[in-house]
Amino acid sequence: MKNEEFRELVDRDLSGLEWDERRRRNVLRALEGEERPVRKISTTFLIAAVVLCLSVTALAAGLIFSPKYDAVRLANDAVKAKYGLTDELIGILLRRAEVREDGTATVTYEAFDENDFPADRIGIYTVDVKGNHADASWSHDGDSTEGGLLAEAYGAEQLTMLAYHYGETLDEMTRLGIWNAEPREPRHEMTPEEQEEYREALAESEMYRRQDLREAEKAGTVTVEGAAEIARKAIAEEYHLTADQAGKLSWDPEDAMVLMEEGDTVIELIFGLRQGEAGGPFTEGDGMYYVDVDLLDGRIEDILYDPGLAANE
């Protein structure tokens, strides 16, 4: 049994479980292959300046990024500049990126699930990237974001409320009569036979995970440990972490896996940063960082940041 059979088994046996956004993000990435200007300065100018600064820094650190991540970086900067989003707000949205053969790309951001977010009010952010130019739009362009939770469109203000005060915000939306998520299916209790089948599937999946990593290392020029150091540098540079924060980034080799959809030498590494005590308040930079690195040359294919806010708070 390999990937597809295992996924079907998990889908069948765990269909009733209440997945949080982080788990859902992991599943989506696995199945997909896989994402307020104060002065009147053009968004294009701001993005170009940011890209130039980041490129110089990356070169100094010896980092190489893929065209996909270059497009994602431009897209992130575009929605930050035009709509006031932050890394944390981007991190609670589902991001998808498509890079075409001609080098152009489209990156979208939307709510994960209508059961966890008011997806219709959040809408979809779309960024078209060509060269160093990124053009951002929003499905709610022209709609009002005034009025707090009663606004017809939820922009940065409302996303911040959902990110940092998720439970209280949904309670208030319920009180206002604007939140009516469908009830979840009851939790599925696996039979002893299903539990045994699931354990066997997990063991087989783990065997293939280790085998794929060994083969990826043999085919490449970078080891998994070497990729982890590259990933740590990339996270620190891209998210402007201090030396102390970068030193606290932790990862588990048991979480490393080959992303077969991206190529048999591209692996995903997961780093976590927690600067306070478990259960304590969020500190800027906290969360999970998913980094895809190609063992062929150490190229960083993608970085995805999950701050662990909103449905995970």
- The pLDDT confidence band at residue 161, using thresholds 50, 70 and 90, is very high
- Judge whether 82 and 70 are in contact, CB under 8 Å: no
Cα separations in angstroms, 296 against 2, 20, 202, 265, 267? 24, 34, 28, 6, 10
Quick one: pLDDT band at residue 311, thresholds 50, 70, 90? low
283 has pLDDT over 50: yes
65 DSSP assignment: B
Average pLDDT over residues 141-156: 97
What's the pLDDT at 279?
A: 74
Whole-number Å distance between alpha carbons of 233 and 61: 8
295 CB-near residues (< 8 Å, 6+ apart): 216, 217, 219, 220, 221, 222, 223, 224, 227, 265, 266, 267
Q: Which pLDDT band, with edges at 50, 70 and 90, does 139 fall under? A: very high
More confidently predicted of 164 and 312: 164
pLDDT bin (cut points 50, 70, 90) of residue 33 is very low
Packing angle of the helix pair 43-61, 224-238 (nearest 10 deg): 140
Which residues of 20-59 form beta strands (DSSP E)? Answer: none
- pLDDT of the residue at 262: 65
166 vs 20: CA distance, rounded Å: 13
**DSSP-assigned letter for residue 7:** H
Is-above-0.85 flag for pTM? Answer: no
Is the pLDDT score of 29 beyond 80? no
Structural contact between residues 72 and 93, judged by C-beta atoms closer than 8 angstroms: no
The answer on pLDDT for 119 being more than 70 is yes
Among 44-58, 80-94, 195-209, 231-245, name the one with the lowest average pLDDT: 44-58
Q: Are 306 and 290 in contact (CB under 8 A)?
A: yes
Please report, rounded to a whole number, the percentage of residues in the chain having pLDDT higher than 70: 78
Q: Is the pLDDT of residue 141 over 90?
A: yes
**Does 6 have pLDDT greater than 80?**
no
Q: Report, as an integer, the average pLDDT of 107-120.
A: 91
**CB-based contacts of 195-198 (< 8 A; 24+ apart in sequence):** 197/9, 197/13, 198/9, 198/10, 198/13
